[in-house]
């Protein structure tokens, strides 16, 4: 049983926080398919900016999304400590610190994965946040600043000594961004040396790969990010593979239609008809990437301006897919 602080999670397959993706509608879908923990989109540690439309949506939580985990990012220890306290006041039961984001706009503020180049600052941040809150503090980071300096084993040991409850390692350095293949040797080293849960992250996009990464690294859990885009049922597949050594019965096209329809409707309700339609486009594109003739239907979908039109096209697409599937049989 995976345990983070006092919380026993019912699955070792967790959803990685992703800015612009892991909003409440997506987290609820992933939970539905067995994600053991979902974490909010990354929040700036500058709480004065939390009133913006984007940040205010990232603060929306659901009591059913238990335990509630909120991720914060920044470079100033005191600001991060204040942000952590504010998250707890809002209902966070776990506070996650981002030291893995490679985005330029984050790194230029000496936050995210840029912090890997300043281990004393990492120590100051972790001390400040852990001292500021009574809930578990977790850390998400990368293997190092660049391939010649994979310093995350040292950072991980420091984090454990300071009281971090779990650490997630993405198998790339800051310099690698998302290029090339993730490597798992560094994660294996960290897993063998720490007693707190180590979460393996990077390029896990199918159940077979998940099983191989767990076996290779000895990690306590898997953190699924981009692999879940367009296939939130991946959590179900991986959990079943880890428990039974085989894939579950695949979802039918009718079942997938229901999932996509549910997701689109939730986005429309959560963001409103204008913004919801815009955000639905990228999610529909991710679903299409895993389905036959998806590009053609994605282009049609992107031209639509109303929620009802999007739902209508989704229904037509899946009716075509169901017919296509039946003919193939």
Residues serving a catalytic function are: 101
Query: Are 76 and 45 a contacting pair, CB within 8 Å?
Result: yes
Q: Which residues contact 302 (CB under 8 A, 6 or more apart)?
A: 281, 285
DSSP reduced 3-state for 66: coil
Long-range contacts from 28-31, C-beta under 8 angstroms, 24+ separation: 28/62, 28/64, 28/65, 28/266, 29/232, 29/259, 29/262, 29/263, 29/266, 30/228, 30/232, 30/235, 31/64, 31/65
Cα–Cα distance measured from residue 58 to residue 42, given in angstroms and rounded to the nearest whole number: 8
**DSSP code, position 39:** B
Cα–Cα distance measured from residue 148 to residue 108, given in angstroms and rounded to the nearest whole number: 21
* Class of residue 67 by CB neighbours under 10 A (exposed 0-12, middle 13-18, buried 19+): middle
CA dist 243 → 11, 12, 238, 246 (Å): 10, 10, 9, 8
Cα–Cα distance measured from residue 139 to residue 242, given in angstroms and rounded to the nearest whole number: 24
Please state, as a whole number, how many other Cβ atoms lie within 10 Å of the Cβ of residue 293: 12
What beta strand segments (E) does 18-68 contain? 43-44
DSSP reduced 3-state for 82: helix
Please state, as a whole number, how many other Cβ atoms lie within 10 Å of the Cβ of residue 286: 18
DSSP reduced 3-state for 8: strand
């Amino acid at each position: 049983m995976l345990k983070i602080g006092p919380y026993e999670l019912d699955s070792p397959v967790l959803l990685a926080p992703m800015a612009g993706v892991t909003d409440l509608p997506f987290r609820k879908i992933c939970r539905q398919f067995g994600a053991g923990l979902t974490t909010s989109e990354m929040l700036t540690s500058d709480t004065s900016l939390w009133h913006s439309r984007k940040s205010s949506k990232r603060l929306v939580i659901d009591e059913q999304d238990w335990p509630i985990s909120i991720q914060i990012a920044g470079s100033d220890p005191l600001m991060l400590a204040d942000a952590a306290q504010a998250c707890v006041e809002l209902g966070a039961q776990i506070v996650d610190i981002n030291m893995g984001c490679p985005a330029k706009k984050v790194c230029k503020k000496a936050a995210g994965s840029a912090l890997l180049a300043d281990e004393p600052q990492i120590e100051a941040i972790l001390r400040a946040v852990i001292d500021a809150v009574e809930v578990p503090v977790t850390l998400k980071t990368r293997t190092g600043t660049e391939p010649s300096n994979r310093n995350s084993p040292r950072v991980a040991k420091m984090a454990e000594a300071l009281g971090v409850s779990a650490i997630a390692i993405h198998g790339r350095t800051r310099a690698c961004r998302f290029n090339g293949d993730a490597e798992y040797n560094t994660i294996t080293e960290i897993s063998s040396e720490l007693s707190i849960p180590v979460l393996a992250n990077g390029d896990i996009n199918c159940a077979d790969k998940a099983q191989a990464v767990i076996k290779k690294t000895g990690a306590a859990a898997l953190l699924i990010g981009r692999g879940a885009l367009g296939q939130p049922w991946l959590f179900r597949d991986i959990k079943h593979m880890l428990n039974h050594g085989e894939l579950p019965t695949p979802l039918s096209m009718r079942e997938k239609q229901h999932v996509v329809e549910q997701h689109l409707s939730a986005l429309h309700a959560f963001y409103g008809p204008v913004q919801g339609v815009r955000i639905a486009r990228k999610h529909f594109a991710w679903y299409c990437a895993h389905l036959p003739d998806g590009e053609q239907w994605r282009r049609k979908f992107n031209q639509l301006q109303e929620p009802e039109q999007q739902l209508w096209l989704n229904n037509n697409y899946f009716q075509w897919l169901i017919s296509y599937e039946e003919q193939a049989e």
